Chains A and B, each alone.
Chain A
Amino acid sequence: MTSLRAADIIFDTELYQTRILPVINASIMAVSKPRFFTTTKKGENYELRADLNSEYRDRRKDAIKKVIANMTVGKDVSGLFPDVLKNMQTDDLEQKKLVYLYLMNYAKTQPELVILAVNTFVKDTDDTNPLIRALAIRTMGCIRVEKIIDYLCEPLRKCLKDDNPYVRKTAAICVAKLYDLNPDLAIENGFVSILQDMVSDSNPMVVANAVTALAEIHEASSTKDIFVINTPTLTKLLVALNECTEWGRISILTALAEYKPVDYKEAEHAIERVIPQFQHANGSVVLSAIKVVMIYMRTIRNEELTKQLVRKLAPPLVTLLSSAPEVQYVALRNINIILQKRSDILQNEMRVFFCKYNDPPYVKMEKLEIMIKLANEKNVDQLLSELKEYASEVDVDFVRKSVRAIGQCAIKIDEASERCINVLLDLIDTKVNYVVQEAIVVIKDIFRKYPHKYEGIIPVLCQNLDALDEPEAKASLIWIIGEYAERIENADELIVSFLDTFRDENSQVELQLVTATVKLFLKKPQSTKNIVQRVLQYATTECDNPDIRDRAYIYWRLLSTDPQAAKAVVLSEKPPISVQSNNISGSLLEDLISNISTLASVYHKPPETFLGKGRFGADAVQRRAIEEQEEASRESPIQAQTKSNIENLLDLDFSDPSTLTTSPISTASGSSAPTANVDDLLDLFSGSNITTSPGQSSSTHQNNNLSNDLVSLF
């Protein structure tokens, strides 16, 4: 027992040390161990101060390292500012960099003292060593203190004209930093126009950084006239494209994507120069090149050429699937967009989207989406056997989505519906609880699409009644029972079996029970009078949910005033359903294509919906959304209301809970249907305030503001 306690103590002190010094050089660790316990008296900063002012060079340097280590773990070491600053003037480049790193972090807390550093900076920008010149100008740009800006202008002007391209490319970015801090100063001093000239620099990397800086300034400027590409610049950019680094290529490609070619000839020429980038090893270069080609293709009139280009787009897209999983994920989300624009692009490539057993879940989910998009008569057999295989995996969410995908196949491809039903029956046979439930939900949709075709399987479904414990599955089965009441001998018994627990059911199930009972009554009036009365009685008197109560009242009145009318309304033909493979509206789709490879393309949402300048921006988005919604309902109040009522009456709310709630965001963008779409992932993520792609469900929007506030608090 005692030995154990001793071990515990050792472990404890170790833990303590690692907590205090998680980042520390091994060599310092050795030295600092004995010192560690003595520091408790006068404080660590006191010790560090002494070391920073030590006469020994090594000791000073080690102390700086320790300061940086403390800074990293979030300890406040701003009090050591003057002492660290003293170590700035040194020949040791490593030490200089460390001091600069410290300066960048704490300059704001000690604006008065930063002035002391200016001299060294200015001197460094004159150093014979270009690396030091660049380092000085790079760091100066990061010190965001008003006082230092006045001293920045002269060195920056010099560096922009430096003989050395490394210094020039660093200075180019520095202009963007200065603009961010003080736009007027950057323009008045002519830095922005120097930057515009630098697009013609002889060094490709300088060109790339100038483009990067200009694009950022352009974006931030109110006038939007900083960086406008014309035909001569286009030529220059295309030349630089082949010679600069991978990251530079992305900057240039991103700039090209903003340009609108004057005619189809220019577009063709540019595309020709961009296409070789499809072979680049860096996946983000490939995606950026694809973006440019997709955008410029809008200008091309020659259909033969368009076909050729579409063919050329396929291989690089497939190759992206062998990159790291995170890059794959971005690629898959983008392929999803590209497929909605050019559905013929990957027609024969479905196999490459088959899930590997060890793919991360987010990749598997996206692959499923794409497989459904690519499904056709030819490959559906293969797809079905694949989906059946997935349905036996362990990840419940993935299994559910796979089962759902089988249903989508059935709805999409008429010829395959029977095979899909068979696969679903096999799955129901496995008796795995969640598989059975999901299958029943899906079969309900298949019944909607192909009425009076597969009623034969209803008995099999009813056998699984006891296994159902999820509202959606229960509601689905009840819907089926109500819809086909005339063919199910014991329909009344089945309905009655649910009534005993009516009180405990989810409102979705309750709504369905009310409707199904009314249907049953209309179909078999003699035997079910008692049941319908019991249900309506209960729903109108004891139920708290207004939706259920209202629906029951409407049914009751309909039934009591005109049973024929009730029949016409309740048993009317339902509009056909189709699988929404293209779930993004036209204008949003074009917007997303312009945003290929960016966050917007991952979320399938226009950037303004998840960005905004701080929390005020997010608030503004919501305010605008609410206003627009109000406006919309003012314009057509009757339409809006009747629509939702009819939906209730006709059971249209059945397909997915998320279709019911119209997201305020999507109304703002003028595309309510597409974003609030049957995106099963939506359901997975809503409820927590983490917005995880692919898309915030409408309900998380509120939370968003909350968490945004949280973010701004810190």
Chain B
Amino acid sequence: MISAFFIYNQKGEVLISRLYRQDLKRSVADIFRIQVISNTDVRSPIITLGSTSFFHVRHENLYIVAVTKCNANAALVFEFCYRLINIGKAYFGKLDEEAVKNNFVLVYELLDEILDFGYPQNSETETLKLYITTEGVKSERALKEDSSKITIQATGATSWRRSDIKYRKNEAFIDVIESINLLMSTTGTILRADVSGQIMMRAYLSGTPECKFGLNDKLLLEKDTSQKGGSRKTTNAVEIDDCQFHQCVKLGKFDSDRTISFVPPDGEFELMRYRTTENVNLPFRVHPVVNEIGKSRVEYRITVKANFSQKLYANNVLIRIPTPLNTANINLRAAAGKAKYVPAENSIVWKINRFQGQSEVTLSGEAELSAMTIKKAWSRPPISMDFQVLMFTSSGLLVRFLKVFEKSNYTSVKWVRYMTKAGSYQVRF
């Protein structure tokens, strides 16, 4: 499996180097620097030189690199690199050169723990934090008392949860966060519209709670109604194309009867991810009219309409309208929000902080172009949007219930929030 693991900064200096197997020498790090970091034309995240393969992921100003000499499981190696990044974020807030340099001892400790002989081991942040801590002294004391408990947890069936959690007030918060992806053609037809959703949970629950979670999942509801023999129409149900769960969810149970049951980790975690493509509600419609007049001028008239309920509003709406590379000057008139030309990004950036549902705004403007010798036509990259709409789901997904069962039978309070934000929301023109 993984023979060596390196972290480089952008200059190619080795910040972390850990060998797991003897089939490589430390100097293999130099080869990666020469072949990848100093090479401007790298077109693959995997590179094999001789029989040595380098897998790399770029994160912030770092290169995270795993090296192997065997026919390694490539998906596993990349997932592992991303797991390391997430662990780093959980420990240091941000995994960048600064964080790695300041915590290199801890990074080595983590690498020793989560990878043994090149095989990934337990990499649950919650558990790792119990015995690998930023303050060495504290961990010492904790170890003497709890090490048995910790090790049982690290290998147990619920390796993500301590058993002795207590809260005075038992609460659970659920955030449904949807990213909507849109690709609209120049003629206004929808080429692609899909939602990738994420259900985040913050569980502050005592003991070992068994949770049951219900959505307006079409498959589940249809089965329910057919079982009860009722003819109740399931019009509000959402057809989920596919979903993935946190490892606490009992997959076998979901597969057999589509119920989502689990013992949650303590604190915040991603309970599930899902994908829908049917009946996607687009929160915004964009009507771009962009005309190139001769070779010296481009006229813009962009209309954006909010399609959601009047009671709701969108935050931080940002519309990026590309301009030709040889733009010299731009005049803009925006009915709402602020619009300005950002030469560095070759685009007009139009910001609207608060966008009421059902309202419509227009931006018009003209770009003056400087003369160019190159004949090549403007490639017209798509207009892209960024936004957040609270209490709105593009898929129509709703949380029907969250039930918590615990031995001590305490009552718990549950909260649900919904949000739709832009994933890759692009309109061609």
Q: Which residues of A come within 8 Å of B, CB atoms?
A: 19, 22-26, 65, 68-69, 72-74, 91-94, 97-98, 100-101, 104-105, 129-132, 134, 138, 141-142, 144, 164-167, 169-170, 173, 176-177, 180, 203-206, 209, 212, 242-243, 245-247, 250-251, 254, 273, 275-277, 279-284, 286-288, 315-316, 318-319, 322, 324-327, 329-331, 351-352, 354, 356-358, 361-362, 382, 385-386, 389, 392-394, 430-432, 595, 597-603, 607, 610-615, 617-618, 684-685, 689-693, 696, 704-705, 707-712, 714
Contact = CB atoms under 8 A, between A and B. Distances in A.
A173 B119 contact: yes
13 contacts: A22-B9, A101-B112, A130-B147, A142-B117, A165-B152, A165-B155, A276-B254, A279-B251, A279-B254, A280-B244, A611-B51, A611-B69, A691-B49
B71 interface: yes
Contact of A714 (B28, B242, B250): B28
A212 B30 CA distance: 30
B35 interface: yes
A24 to B, nearest CB: 7
B382 interface: yes
A245 B159 CA distance: 8
Interface in B42-90: 42-53, 55, 57, 68-76, 78-82
A319 B104 contact: no
Given A105-B19, A287-B75, A357 B121 contact: no
Contacts of A691: 47-49
B379 A173 contact: no
A265 B124 CA distance: 36
Q: Which of B9, B75, B124, B242 has the most CB of A within 10 A?
A: B75
**Interface SS of chain A: helix, strand, loop or mixed?**
helix
Contacts of A714: 25, 27-28, 30-31
A362 B191 contact: no
Chain B facing A: main interface SS:
mixed
B119 A212 contact: yes
B30 to A, nearest CB: 7
Interface stretch (B135-143, B168-176, B386-394): B135-143
Contacts of A356: 183, 424, 426
B30 A392 contact: no
Interface string B99-129: 0111011001100100011011111100000
B44 A693 contact: yes
Contacts of A351: 191-192
B31 to A, nearest CB: 6
A597 B71 CA distance: 10
B181 to A, nearest CB: 8
Nearest to B114: A247
Nearest to B382: A357
Interface of B: 9, 13-17, 19-22, 25-31, 35, 39, 42-53, 55, 57, 68-76, 78-82, 100-102, 104-105, 108-109, 112, 116-117, 119-124, 131, 136, 139-140, 143-144, 147-148, 150-152, 154-157, 159, 183, 185, 191-192, 194, 196, 241-247, 249-252, 254-255, 270, 272-273, 275, 375-377, 379-382, 384, 424, 426, 428
Given A610-B48, A690-B49, A691-B49, A283 B75 contact: yes
A275 B242 CA distance: 13
A98 B136 contact: no
Lowest 5 CB-CB distances: which A-B pairs, in order? Answer: A708-B50, A166-B151, A315-B242, A284-B75, A276-B251
A311 to B, nearest CB: 12
A250 B76 contact: yes
A362 B70 contact: no
B424 A617 contact: no
A432 B148 contact: no
Nearest to A685: B43
Contacts of B428: 389
B71 to A, nearest CB: 4
A151 B45 CA distance: 42
A693 B121 contact: no
Contacts of A329: 44-46
Contacts of B377: 392, 430, 432
B105 A94 contact: yes
B48 A166 contact: no
A259 to B, nearest CB: 17
Contacts of A167: 151
Nearest to B104: A23
A711 B255 contact: no
B70 A611 contact: yes
A242 B250 CA distance: 8
B43 A281 contact: no
Nearest to B384: A357
A166 B147 CA distance: 10
Given A129-B143, A316-B242, A690-B35, 15 more contacts: A22-B9, A24-B104, A93-B140, A212-B119, A279-B255, A281-B273, A284-B79, A331-B75, A362-B45, A392-B377, A607-B71, A617-B51, A692-B43, A693-B44, A707-B50
A705 B244 CA distance: 43
Given A93-B139, A138-B116, A602-B46, A72 B15 contact: yes
